[in-house]
Chain A
Amino acid sequence: MSKQISDEVLLDIHRRMVRIRIFEETAGKLAEDGKIPGALHLYVGEEAVACGVMVHLSNKDWITSTHRGHGHLIAKGGEFDRMFAELFGRSTGYCKGKGGSMHVSNLDLGMLGANGIVGGGPPIAVGAGFSNKFRKTKNVSISFFGDGASNEGAFHEAANMAALYKLPVIFVCENNGYGEYTPQAKHQAIVDVADRASGYGMPGVIVDGMDAVAVYEAAGEAIERARNGEGPTLLECKTYRYYDHVGVRGMGMTYRTDEEVEYWKGRDPIDMMEARLAEQGILSAKDAAAVHEEVTKQVQAGVEFAESSPMPTPESLLEDVYA
């Protein structure tokens, strides 16, 4: 560690990761039970990335997310009840049931939406970063995207413009090794997406995306650079999704081996964090279990809120198309 991280921050990161994990595991079960309609892209395994970055941010800092966006919103402060309500398609959801999993958002928290289009986020994050600079704020804008999205033209245009204008934008690549079902080696000729940074004139940094503290430290430097007007950074976090591209199934897949999944689960971000916290005497195993238990109750309350919430009325169908 380059500098001492407070116990408070470490516990905050831990709790956010647990919140994501239990929310996602629960959402996955509800989807399998047919209670959540549509497609669900689960963030389980990648929690360290969202949480290591997000603890640096305020609600006035913007983020754009991906199709795998629940974790980003939870890490940014999203509430379980409104999120589950959105996933259930209820009128009490963050988007009144009009967005669902792939568009869940909360602008009050600075979260500019999950995005169903791979590569849809980076240009919007550049716009938010541009806006931060134009309005002379010190706020930053974070674009979360995957290794798959790094092959989209939109990413290229956005990265070039952010560097050109020295915008306070951080491009956080969640390299989980797959663009949908295609392994990275079959979708790009590079191993490190961060290599692309030099082509745009920005620093490229690689971190262990399963290590929340490593993400926290690297993100902190990039965010500080951005706040100081020194421009964007491409931060590549090597991570892994435990479940399928869409849905819950994780093992026995044709496009990846169970051994590979087991390897990454052996480096679980929450387990690693809890081991670290126990070793440092910050959080005992018992206290960690209490966090899980407390979050589980909050998740259950969120599900109950969603299930007891009304469906959107037919009249609302045509509302919100225009201001």
Chain B
Amino acid sequence: MAEALEKPRTLPYVSAINEAVREVLKEYDNSFVVGEDVAGAGGVYGYYHGLLDEFGPERMYDTPISEEGIIGLGVGAAATGCRPIVDLMFMDFMGECMDEIANQLAKMRYMFGGRATLPVTMLTMGGAGASLAAQHSQSLEAWICHLPGLKVVMPTTPYDAKGLIISAARDDNPVIVCLNKMSLAIQGEVPEGSYSIPLGEANVVRQGSNFTIVALGRMLHEALKAAEQLKEFGIDAEVIDPRTLQPFDTATVVKSVRKTHRLLIVHEAVRFGGFGGEIAAQIQEEAFDYLDAPVGRVGAPFSPVPFSPALEAIYVPSADSIVAEARKLLGL
């Protein structure tokens, strides 16, 4: 597939998602989108807008509000020769379809001795910050990173959103794309045409010399702001966006830690049992001798996501809380 990396435009994240799905539908005749309100309404966040008109009702399917049915449809269609894009409106709704995700989608290939191929791309929306309260705001990536058989990506920028969704669709494994609702309006350069970002490759977004921050999803933007604030304390932070969580690019983080000797992991998910714990464990296994400080973690406190803006603002990690944790870690 020729990569047509031309004419980057500045586009919001939401439009990058839209362009990615369009490119996938153009690239694969056996691909279709199935989910709640994806066709007629163009998706509740609008990222399927225009695709029904362009590709017609044979490629864009509105479904009943039946998450288990939707993911199961994706499993059955993929195992029998299609390349479906299934939309799970909110990541929180994984509770409605976890059997299909965990016991069917993730495991069918292995259970069948490698004789089934499941090229399913699942787009789903996570993240707090919109006062959608406890059941529409979670970051549950740890649930799915724990399941062998799945790949998990978490695009942060418009460029990554388009490239990672295309890569997810081209991959012959089930890939869950964890989108972020508070990032929809974030602007960034996006090339026209089709391009891919290799799954499993982290992106060193900011070079630094004496402190590494690994930031998942939307926390990248907060980490970059924090890195600027940390300069006044003599901290020159390197900021890494893993982009793919499963498989995780441990090597890039190890390389960075060997240089900076310090690591702080930031994610929006609840800190306890979050994916940051896995990263911390891997780094202490692989780079223990290089660490000059304990590995730090910033995440949400151990409570459901609150509704009130006053509470949600202190619940979700921010540049300020990242700076505070970094200073604590370094005794500054």
Contact = CB atoms under 8 A, between A and B. Distances in A.
A103 B80 contact: no
B117 interface: yes
A132 B112 contact: no
B109 A323 contact: yes
Contacts of A112: 76, 79-80, 116
Contacts of A94: 112-113, 115
Nearest to B116: A107
Interface in A110-139: 112-113, 115-117, 119-120, 122-132, 134-135
Dominant secondary structure at the A interface: mixed
B315 to A, nearest CB: 31
Q: Which of B58, B71, B80, B100 has the most A CB atoms < 10 Å from its CB?
A: B80
Contacts of A97: 113
Interface stretch (B61-69, B180-188, B236-244, B250-258): B61-69
Contact of B76 (A124, A160, A321): A124
Contacts, number: 148
A126 B64 contact: no
Contact of A64 (B76, B84, B99): B76
A320 interface: yes
- Chain A, interface size category, equals 35 or more
A126 B64 CA distance: 13
A320 B109 contact: yes
Q: Which of B108, B151, B173 has the most A CB atoms < 10 Å from its CB?
A: B108
Given A126-B73, A161-B64, A134 B117 contact: no
Given A116-B103, A123-B75, A135-B30, A93 B113 contact: yes
A134 B32 contact: yes
A123 B72 contact: yes
B289 to A, nearest CB: 28
Contacts of B69: 123, 126, 154, 157-158, 160-161
Interface string B64-95: 10101101111111111110100000000000
9 contacts: A93-B113, A116-B103, A120-B103, A123-B76, A124-B76, A124-B79, A124-B104, A125-B76, A322-B151
Interface of B: 30, 32, 58, 61, 63-64, 66, 68-69, 71-82, 84, 99-100, 103-104, 108-119, 148-149, 151, 171-173
